[in-house]
Amino acid sequence: MGYDKVMNAGTRYVGLKRTIKAISDGLATEVFVAEDADHELLRKVSDTAYEKQIPLVMVPSMKKLGKACGIEVNAAAVAIKK
């Protein structure tokens, strides 16, 4: 279900840096992170989402998350804006 939401989102911020910036700038309404991504890298995303009270959804695969974003590479984190 998480992948469908990412695929149908109006605006997506793909990648760790863009996701963190979108959260910090108040642009993200929901954040998706891949369970198979490096947990040290994802800690900053999850901490920032927690601080800003943005829902964080775990999805199983970086590969599928990238595909849901319409890119040919893996994605560790994605923020969406409604």
Alpha helix segments (H runs only) across the chain: 2-7, 16-24, 39-51, 62-68
Please choose, from the candidates 54, 61, 69, the residue with its C-alpha nearest in 3D space to the C-alpha of residue 15: 69
Give yes or no for residue 82 having a pLDDT over 90. no
Q: Where are the domains of the chain?
A: 2-81
Superfamily per CATH, domain 2-81? Ribosomal protein L30/S12 (3.30.1330.30)
C-alpha–C-alpha distance, residues 6 and 26, integer Å: 18
DSSP 76: S
C-alpha–C-alpha distance, residues 23 and 52, integer Å: 7
In tens, the pLDDT along 57-66 reads: 999 999 999 9
In tens, the pLDDT along 23-61 reads: 999 999 999 999 999 999 899 999 999 999 999 999 999
C-alpha–C-alpha distance, residues 51 and 71, integer Å: 29
